[in-house]
Structure formats: C-alpha cells, structure tokens
Structure 1
C-alpha cells in the first residue's frame, strides 16, 4: 500500500508536467488507449484507484497512473489543481490503494498513460469519500484544564487519567480501543455538554458510523460489545454528562464489564439524556451493568440521573438501596422498542441507610434486591405498579420499618415472569415457586408480612 497524503485543495509542487487535457481515447489498436476503473474500497480517507492500458499504439508506455482533482478531467500538467499518482509502466491493468484522502470530499479521477507519442486519458470517474473527522490521538493524562473541540475525533488506546478539568464540546467523538478508558481521580472533572443535534459519543475505534473509518481498515472490522473498557469516576465534583452516548464498552476491567463505573469518590455527577447501549456481558461475571453506581450511588441530590436510555446491555443499572431513581429513565431502544436488555431491571445494593426515605416508583422494569436489606430508620415506599423481585435463597428479602407497599405493587421471586417480565433473562427455563426468597419482615409488627401482593416467599 502506498501512503500518499493527498489534499486535493492544495498546490502540489512535485507534480511532473508532461501531458495535456485530451478527450477519452477511442479503442483503436494503433492508438495509445487507456481506461479508468471505477474507484472501490472507499472509506473516509482511502480508495482503491486504477485503470487499464488497452493499447500502447505501437510505442512502449513509459508512465501510467491516475490524475486526481476536485474538478472534472484532471491532468498531470496542472500542478495548481491536480495531483498525480504514478503506477509503473507498460500495458495492462494497474491499481493501488491510496490513503490520506480528505473525508467527505467528492473527487474526479482519470487514468493516464504516456509513451513517445504523448499522453492519453481514460474517462472521468467521480467518487466521494465517507464522512470523517480530524484525528487527535490522546496518549497523556489530563493534568491541566483542557478542551476537546467540536469536529475532532479523539482516539484513546490506553488508560487516560483526568486530574484537572476536561471540557468536551458538543459533537465531539471519542473512540477507544480494547485497553482504552478514561479514569477521573482526585480533583479531576469532566464537563461534557452535548446538544440534541450534536451529541457527544464515546464508542469503539471500529465504529465507522460516526466520524468515518478512524482506524483506516475499511470494512475489515465492525464495532462489537466490549471493544473498550469504561469511563471510571473515582474523584472530582460536579461531573456533567448531557446528551452523551456510551456504546460498545465493557471489556473486562478486573471482573467489571461496565460502560460507566462509579467508585468511592466519584458519585458527584449529573447524567441527563444519555444513551447506554451494547455493553458487553460474559458468563461468570457478576458485575455486568451498563451503569455501575453500586454502593456509592446513594443520594439523588448528589448523583443526578434523569431521562437516560438503556438498551442491548446485560443489566442496565446498579445503585444503592437508598437511592430514589427518577422514573423518567427508560429501558428500550426508542428506534426499536422490542430491543431491551438481557436482564431488564434495576439492580439494588442492600443498604437501608440511616433516617433516609426512599421511593421506588419505576413501573417499566422491576427492581431486584441484591441481598437482605435491613432498615430500622427512615421509610421505604414501593409505589403503585412497582415490582420488587428477589433472587432465590434465604439471604434475599426485606427487614424494614415503615414500609409502604401499594396494593398494586408486588414483592415476588426473580423467576416470576408474569410480573415485570423475564427479569433473570432465562426465558422459560425457570418458574417461580414457594420459598424462592426469604420474605418481608415488618419491624413495626415484629412479624413476617403476607398478602396477595407478596408472592413465593419462605415466610
């Protein structure tokens, strides 16, 4: 492969001028004749170009190749506007793949051949490179205030640590490789404010749908789940992610497969109108959540999470039992409502908190309590139509004071597909049965609670 950096709008001072603009040749055996191939393998920066010397007209062809320009019928004698790509000599077909073409640009090409009698041209062919963006390779940490600007694609193939303020402008695309992630520590902060028409995208290096073929491999690769690691927040205050897309994340990060991972000091954030899609999952992994808030996502006033969308993930979100999740988040693809998540639910860390009132009002998907939640202070409200499910065993249940369970709400087994759908993602492989989970112990009455909306419990 020849690596010609062709910028069609610039003057190329190194052209060799020796031929004039002629009409396409006739196919006469005694006349120098060449045809132009239709360009193939077109990406945002590459194309395979070539032609065929049909007849040398009785005199050996000493030069052949392609003339390329932004205007019709390019030649090699106009260095101010046209560029020349030489490809050997002699009769027959010739072609090569050329890189460095400007993205989203329409160009004209003509094959040419030169012998002692002059130069002949093939017909003019038109092609357009795919859309693309200037590439900025990010290899160093963000230790001083930095802005990533609109129109660029930022490529990350390693772990990039943010310890200062990183501002990401609307329309910026961040593409990451297998070892790529962004880690925020200490006083680091990310301010990523996209817009409805210029969303900010975090995606795979193989994702050609935004900013074109950034890795320059044509159609050789396509984006897959787990193509990059995650966004890891473990520091800073006031992170903002507005109208951002997180796609194809979830490579194995020490047992975690997540798009966003919140750790000890990273819970001060706002995620609004963001999309989390195509996050990887794998057999044997327990931490397979598109958004991992865990024990640290516990206060909706500190960790703001609104109007977000999850689809084609394993489990959408994991959060603390004290967190009142806004029901305006959704759990399906708006463009294809049938596309949801493998285990379409809200996973809850069993923390009751002290003197905290928590509300469970989501009705689109069920909540799953990941343990035996004990709450001796504050209150818990499971609102109309809400469903809370429990995995099998005597370590899953509620031991709660001041629980308000609406008459239309249910406490039930995770195997209960009739309520809240197939939450454990196993189809018809399992069915609910008595004693599937421990039960609900009412601290006010010091007794196990029962009712028509408390199903399949041991007690």
Structure 2
C-alpha cells in the first residue's frame, strides 16, 4: 500500500510539471487574437485574500497554488461557469464569506489539477465564516482534511443544487457545534461518507441524492444538548457511528421517511426529548447497518445479513421523553435487553409503530411511575414483545403481536400505585413472578385481556383488583399452556396442555378488595389449594364469571367480612369444592356449580341460601357442611332436588341458631350427631318438607353419594338430633329417618328448653324415634307419624306425652314409658289404636300427679 502511494505521488508530480510546461508553451505561442484551440491562461491565486474579490469567467480557470485564506470581513464571489483547480494538498479556508452561485447551465467547478480522490484538501468554512455554494461541483478533495467541504463555527452554510463527488473522506462535514446549515437538492457521489454530521448539528435534507458512498450520512456519536434535527430521503440512510445521548436540555427531531442505521453495539440515550413522527407512507426506520431492505446499501458489508441484537437500544431514562409515531425499530436488543427502554418520570408515546427482530424485548417499561401512551403498534419476531416492570402500566387493546417468544411479559414485584393492564384478546399478558398489589394500590385489568401465569405463581391483592370484562370480551386468568385464549403463549404448538394446579391463586388478603365481572379463571390451585382465596376484610364480588379446573377449590372464602357476592357465574370442574367458605357472609345468586369434587362446601357456622336459579348438580358431592359449632344465626336453605351433606358432628351453642329452609334435604355422614344447646328451627311446608336422612337415601335429594343405588339406607346410620339443657327445637313438616346409631334415638329431648314437633315423620330409627328424657322439659307434639322405629316415642319419668292425633305404624312399641317416681304434674295420652307400654313400676309421690287422657290404652309389662 505504501509503495503504491509513493508511485502515485511521483506520477502526480510529473503531471503537475507537465501542466506547467504546457501552460507556458501555449502562452508563448499565443497571437494577439488568442489561440486557435481556445486555450486560456489560468489565473493563479494563493495565500490570504486581503480585499473583496470576484473570480470571473474571464479569469477562469483559477489555479490555487497554495491554500487560499478568506479572512473575516472579506468576501470572495465566484461567477457562474468558473473553474477552480487546486494543486495537490492545497485548499481554501473561509473565515469571511464565500459566495459561489452558479447555474444549471454554468455550474461552478472546484476540483483538483489532477482527477484523483484526495488530490487537494477542502473548502474549510470555519469560525464566523459563511458560504453559499449553489450549482457547484466539488470533486477529488479530501487529502489531510478528509473532507471536501468542512463546516465549523458559527457562520452560515448553504449548499444547494450541487455535486460533491470522489472525496477521499467526507463529501460534506458539519463539525460539532451550533452552526447554521442548509442543504438542498445536492448529489453526493462516490465519497467515503456523503455527509458527516458532528454532534449537536442538524442535518435535514429530504431532497439530496446519494450514490456510491460507503455511508450516505455519517452521524458522529456524542452528547446533544441543544435542538437538533435529522432527516434524509428514505432511499438513503443516516449512519449512527457511536453512542448518542440527548441530555436534559437537548432535543432531537427526526424527519418523516428517515432511515437511521446503527453500527454494531450502538445506542441512543434520551434524557431530554426525542421526536420521531413519521407518516403512514413515510415511516422512520431505526435498524441494523446491514439492513438493505430500507435506506439503500451501505458499503463494505460483503453480503452480511441483519440480525437481532446488532445494535443496543433507544434508551429513554430519567426525565427523558420520546414521541415515536409511524416508526420501524429493527434488529436491536444487544446488551440492553430491549429495542426501546423506558424508565424514569418522562413520557413515552409509541403509536402506529413496528418493533421487530429484537434479540430480547421489543419494548421494556421499567419499574416506576413512567407516563406511557401506546396504540396501534406491531411487535414481530422479538424474544418478548413488551416487558412491563412492576408499578408500570400497559394497556393497549389495539396493538398486534406476531411470532414473539412472549407477547407481553409482566415482571413480578409489589405494586404500590395505580396500575392498568390490557391487551387484545388474541394475545396474552404473561405473569412471570409473584405480584402483590399493596394496600392503597389498585390494579385494573381491561376487558378482553388474557393473563397467563408461569408455573407456581400467585397474584396477591392487599389493595384493590378491578377486573371487569364484558360479554364477549372476558378477562382470562389461566395457565401459560392454555391455547384456547390469548394464542399459543408458550409457542409449543399444542405439544403441552393446561392442567389443574399449574399456578397458585389470586389471593385477596388483609384489607384487599376485588371486583370480577365476565372473567374466566382456570387451572390454578397449586399450593394454595384454590383459584381465588379470600382472607381479607374487604368486599369481593364475582359476576358473570367462570372458575374452572382448579386442583383444589374454585373459590375459598376464609373470611367473608366485608361481604362476598357470587352471581350469574359458573364454578365447574374443580377437583376440590367449587366454593368453600369458612366464614359466614357469603351470598350466591343464579350460579352454576357442576362437575366439582364438591359443589359447595362450608363450615357449620355459615349460612347457605341457594335460590331456584342456582344449579348445583353432577358434583361428586353437591353441598357439604363440615361439622363444627354454630355460634351465630345461620340459615341453610337449598332446593329439594339436591341435598346438603352434613359431614360431621355439629353443635349449636347457647348463642347459636340454625334455621333450615322449606324443602331442604340434610343428609348426614355415618355416626353424625346434631347437638342443640341453642336453637334449631326446621319449618317445612306440606309440599316442601325438611329432611334429615341417611347419606345413602336416594329417595330425596338425589344420589348424594354417587353410587347408582349400590348402597341403601338403613336404621342406625347416623346418631341423633340431641336437644339438651336450654336448647330448643322447632320441627314442622319434617321427615327424620335412619338415625339411632350410638344414641339409640332420632330426636332426644332433655333440659328446660322447648321442643315442638308438628306434622312431622320420624321413621326407621334404630331405637326411639323420639326420646323425652326425664325432667320438666316443655314439649309440643301434634299430628306426627312415627314409623318403623324400635320405639315410636320413649318418655322418661316425670315427662309428659299426650297426643291423640299422632300416627304410629310399624314400631315395635308405639309409646314406651320409663318407670320411676313421679314428683311433678305429668300427663299421658295417645289414640286408642296405639299402645302405651309402661316399662317399670311407677310411684306417684305426694307432691306428684298423673293424668291419663280418655281413650288411652296403657299396657304394663310383666
């Protein structure tokens, strides 16, 4: 290479010598009328110009022997058609004014004495110098200065309708600073760089053409701290050669149609303001320098193709803001992990843009309170379309996602402000870590949004969750492998399927509140054993929703304080209970519970009222009440076509009250007892009786144990209803069957509380249908039926039984009277068709009395 250059300079020197000899010979041979070949003696110029000067056509051509200097205050005017030839390594320095205005027919030529790139230096406009170059050609410059036209300082430059070609360096170089510059309708041909733009300098020219340059417009890296504008025709490119930072007071505007190509590993920092507003048919491109699909072909690429992660990012941070509209951002993501990063308090508007082929995220909204507007964008072939940091909102139902690894990635963490999530229902928003909505914070999810969870994750609500979808635009909370909504989020083309217990739950705790409408919650339950868990004191409402395929319960209400409302919803195919509540205050309306392990499960000390519009069917157990203590006012009321299964020993405390609605069927687990120290009210009607019966009794309340009649009820399955102490019970139009295990009775009454038994049937007891224990208990018995019991009624000493309207049938003994001492007022009586058997000696003490009603048949044992 060095040898070639030495030879080139020797040959060039010879050419200069030859030109001088020719000029001299021609001059000597000239006649007074001029040479026949039209040759003109060139005008030699050199050094410092000391007065305003005009280079005329008459004086053309001009030869610059040594560099011409135009000092401050001096003007050189060059007329149209003038040719200026520069000797090797010479040039022009303009600190005053250069005015070179040619015409289309008579352009002004600045060139070398030899047509070799880099022959002469440059036109160097510096300090306060200004220049107007119009209809000019500047060619073969660039030695030493590495540019043909250099502009620095505060003066003005206008370059228009001109050609800058064959420069060994930059055709035009605008040095860093605040220079004033206009470029229009120029042609930059076969230069190393067509135009090189220093930092803090604008280049805005949509009319100039570039051809054969290694780089069309070369932008220096550095810090922008003033207002700068870039723009070039979309046929060409602006090359980002180094990192560029727009600082707090800086502003960068990019013109529609501009194509910015980045050198490897470069990025654009924005701490001030970036404005890139393209148009629908004039998009702004930010891309890999090897991307030949836009902005032409940059030299030296050797056929290399663009690829994700070539350049770094547009990084908007601190108070920086950006407005990006009709932009295409491609092949970024190196090191920074995203094509566009937004952090800090400044704003970002991204509209009608395409973000594609990022090696990581297309857009990352960092954690914080950043202001963000987003609409009608497209994310294509990124590792992640959009990544949303904690405490950042992303809500855009208009944006399209195609072929990204993940559409929208939600970081885990704690939300402590108001946040909104939303995306079109064709795509999914993926929860990638535990998320907690703190007290006083609010998370809103827009209609149509599909939220998918990675395995084992939970959404915890200590503040407020507002998830109100619409009919036809449900909100989904589901397994990432669920392709039925939000597309193929894990990109496995159906090779995996969702399953119960993939993610944990929506956990509503502390003071948390939640409002769900038109939601679908599926495949949760891992660890938390429910899809939605309420332990909070706040209100929770669910309407028009579906809760399905939990590996535990669909809904678990551990604390109903604040209220829990479920309406017009379906709770289906959960392995545990559809609804399990362990606190009173749950309200259900017009909902469906089907294909669950248990339709509805609750503790004893909680009310359940199932209206006629609610369906509980085809569960392994439709309704289950866990045994326990009732210490408050509780109501159980279900339609007669289903049953309420009481799963264990249950007591009603002194302060408790249990009311059973008409038509309710209670089926009891084996050996279960109801003990009453408070109040039991079971008031049916003639057409809607209340039943207490064996779990296996399919004659009422359906096939509760789901065995298709393979088991039958039998006496002594469950224990009894044991009314004691001050406890009282009111049975009206009730049927009590198959009791007597251990206690040897169906209803046992002792103590001072009252018992009312009216229009009821007690049947198939392994023992006494009714036992009135010795004492002074208050007892009312009318129009009942005692059928197929060992004893219909057993009456303890000092207890009265008188009922002439009750029917006894199929009992071993109808009325069984215990022996002993009567020391109070006692009355016996039964219809003459039935037997009253005295089982032992009776002694009536002086203070006692015994009345036997007319028609009573009293039989004494041997």
1:318 to 2:580 alignment:
yes
Q: Which residue of 2 aligns with 1:138?
A: 411
Which entry has the higher C-alpha Rg, 1 or 2?
2
1:260 to 2:532 alignment:
yes
Q: Which of the numbers 382, 385, 398 marks the counterpart of 2:663? A: 385
Q: Which of the numbers 540, 557, 565 marks the counterpart of 1:293? A: 557
Q: Which of the numbers 274, 295, 298 marks the counterpart of 2:545? A: 274
CA pair 351-192 structure 1, distance change in 2 beyond 3 A = farther
1:213 to 2:491 alignment:
no
Q: Which of the numbers 421, 428, 431 marks the counterpart of 1:148? A: 421
Measured in 1, the distance between the counterparts of 2:641 and 2:729 equals 31
Q: C-alpha deviations, 1:144-164, integer Å up to 9, x for none?
A: 221112426332244322212
Measured in 2, the distance between the counterparts of 1:433 and 1:199 equals 49
Report the TM-score, using the length of structure 1 for normalisation: 0.61
Measured in 2, the distance between the counterparts of 1:446 and 1:148 equals 55
Deviation at 1:201, TM superposition (A): 1.1
Q: Which of the numbers 273, 297, 308 marks the counterpart of 2:569? A: 308
Q: Indicate conservation of the 8 Å contact 2:665/2:690, yes or no.
A: yes
Deviation at 1:184, TM superposition (A): 2.2
1:361 to 2:617 alignment:
no
CA pair 320-340 structure 1, distance change in 2 beyond 3 A = same
Q: Which residue of 2 aligns with 1:433?
A: 714
Q: C-alpha deviations, 1:312-339, integer Å up to 9, x for none?
A: 1232222247446435222238xxx999
Deviation at 1:379, TM superposition (A): 4.2
Structure 1 range deviating more: 308-317 or 373-382: 373-382
Decide which structure has greater strand share. 2
1:331 to 2:612 alignment:
no
Q: Indicate conservation of the 8 Å contact 1:387/1:420, yes or no.
A: yes
**Matched residue of 2:588: which SS?**
coil
Deviation at 1:130, TM superposition (A): 9.5
Measured in 2, the distance between the counterparts of 1:213 and 1:202 equals 15
Q: Indicate conservation of the 8 Å contact 2:682/2:732, yes or no.
A: no
Q: Which residue of 2 aligns with 1:168?
A: 445
Unaligned stretches of 5+ residues in structure 1? 1-8, 18-62, 66-79, 84-98, 108-127, 281-287
Report the TM-score, using the length of structure 2 for normalisation: 0.34
Aligned-CA RMSD value: 4.4
Q: Indicate conservation of the 8 Å contact 1:327/1:361, yes or no.
A: no
Aligned residues: 338
Q: Which residue of 1 aligns with 2:691?
A: 410
**Matched residue of 2:489: which SS?**
coil
Q: Which residue of 2 aligns with 1:420?
A: 701
CA pair 233-346 structure 1, distance change in 2 beyond 3 A = farther
Measured in 2, the distance between the counterparts of 1:224 and 1:419 equals 35
Q: Which residue of 2 aligns with 1:113?
A: none
Q: Indicate conservation of the 8 Å contact 2:631/2:657, yes or no.
A: no
CA pair 445-346 structure 1, distance change in 2 beyond 3 A = closer
CA pair 329-381 structure 1, distance change in 2 beyond 3 A = farther
Q: Indicate conservation of the 8 Å contact 1:171/1:198, yes or no.
A: yes
Measured in 2, the distance between the counterparts of 1:292 and 1:137 equals 26
Q: Which residue of 2 aligns with 1:159?
A: 434
Q: Which residue of 2 aligns with 1:26?
A: none
Q: Which of the numbers 393, 401, 409 marks the counterpart of 2:679? A: 401
Measured in 2, the distance between the counterparts of 1:155 and 1:223 equals 15
Measured in 2, the distance between the counterparts of 1:307 and 1:346 equals 21
Q: Which of the numbers 211, 230, 236 marks the counterpart of 2:511? A: 236
Deviation at 1:167, TM superposition (A): 1.3
**Matched residue of 1:410: which SS?**
strand
